[in-house]
Amino acid sequence: MELIILLCLIALGAGAGIMGALFGLGGGVIFVPVLMLCFGLSPAEAAAVSLVGIVAGSVGASSVFVEKGLANIRLGLLLEVTTTIGAIAGAIVAGLMEEWILSLVFCLVMIYSGVRMLMNPEKVIEPSEKGGRMSFEYRDESNGEVIPYEVQNVGAGSVACVGAGMLSSMTGVGGGAIKVPVMNLIMHVPMKAASSTSSYMIGITAFSGAITYFFSGQLDLAFAGGVAIGAFVGAIAGTYLARKLSTGHIRKYFSVVLFLMSALVLLRIGGIL
């Protein structure tokens, strides 16, 4: 592979890594079209390379977030179960509904979440009693405060994640864009914990897809390697930014990314991408 192409892949991976670490988003909506349009990959090859980038970014970011206590392992595993149930259900009923209708629903949910995040300040509930199953805490390095929180509406949040899993398996758009707002707006998980937890989860979700492409021989090793190197570098930069930025800023930037992703999905529905 030519050096210039390798460098471009590393740069692309770095962008994906930053998004994954900062917002808990895989960014497949953005990176798959870029891999297809700029590097001439087929849709399956682009999806495979993008999944490897997501795993690399998630592993890099989680190695920091988990140790710092920002990523909530327990909550992440719980929502991973509900999202997977949704993904399986989605795969079973896929074909019963037009994909463009589902993509449109996805867009509307993203736009609604983005608007709510911009308009409403974050609401975090302090644990009522010590040691509850849903009581957690993390230390915010931007101001040195320890933030205790109790996860609320676990049932509603889990059901919403089933919906997120269904939508993402039926549309091919990753679930991070819905899971982070579900955690933050419905379950009242602080934004930094929500995005870090999602960043940990997307690695587990992407693993199943990536390993399937890997063993089926559809993964271009050199392309995937370049993106993985970049994603790791981007993830480390993203974890640094995530720890230093204030919650308010991360929420604001997150909503902008949601609007951008909605626009891209709308372009895809319109057949332009």
Partner 1 sequence: MNMNRSIAWTLRIGIVIGLVLIIAGELLPSDDLLYWGLLILIASPMFAVIVAFIGLVRERDWFWAGIAAVVMIIVISGAVLAML
> Which of 112, 209 has the CB closer to partner 1?
209
| Contact residues: partner 1, CB under 8 A | 1, 6, 52, 55-56, 58-60, 62-64, 66-67, 69, 73-74, 77-78, 80-81, 84, 133, 203-204, 206-208, 210-212, 214-216, 219, 221-222, 224-226, 228-229, 232
3-state helix, strand, coil in the chain (%, to 5): 75, 5, 20
Question: Is the Cβ of residue 59 or residue 186 nearer to partner 1 in the bound state?
Answer: 59
| Closest CB 263 distance from partner 1, rounded Å | 30
Q: Specify which residues 146 forms β-bridges with.
A: 139
Residue from 9, 49, 41 nearest 230 by CA: 9
- How many CA atoms are closer than 13 Å to the CA of 248, on its beta-carbon side? 4
Q: Decide if 142 contacts 244 (C-beta within 8 A).
A: yes
Supply the minimum distance, in Å, between the C-beta of residue 108 and partner 1.
29
CB atoms closer than 10 angstroms to residue 261: 24
Give the nearest distance from C-beta 77 to partner 1 in angstroms: 5
What are the distances in angstroms from CA 188 to CA 94, 111, 264? 31, 19, 28
Q: How far is the CB of 123 from partner 1 (least distance, A)?
A: 25
Closest CB to partner 1 among residues 78, 125? 78
Sign, CA torsion 15/19/20/26: negative
For partner 1, the closer of residues 78 and 111 by Cβ is: 78
Using the minimum distance from each CB to partner 1, give the nearer residue, 97 or 222.
222
CB of 80 or CB of 114, closer to partner 1: 80
Judged on CB neighbours under 10 Å (0-12, 13-18, 19+), 37 is exposed
Cα–Cα nearest to 241, from 199, 203, 180, 201: 199
Compute the least distance from the CB of residue 239 to partner 1, in Å. 12
User: From the CB of 110, what's the least distance to partner 1, in Å?
Assistant: 25
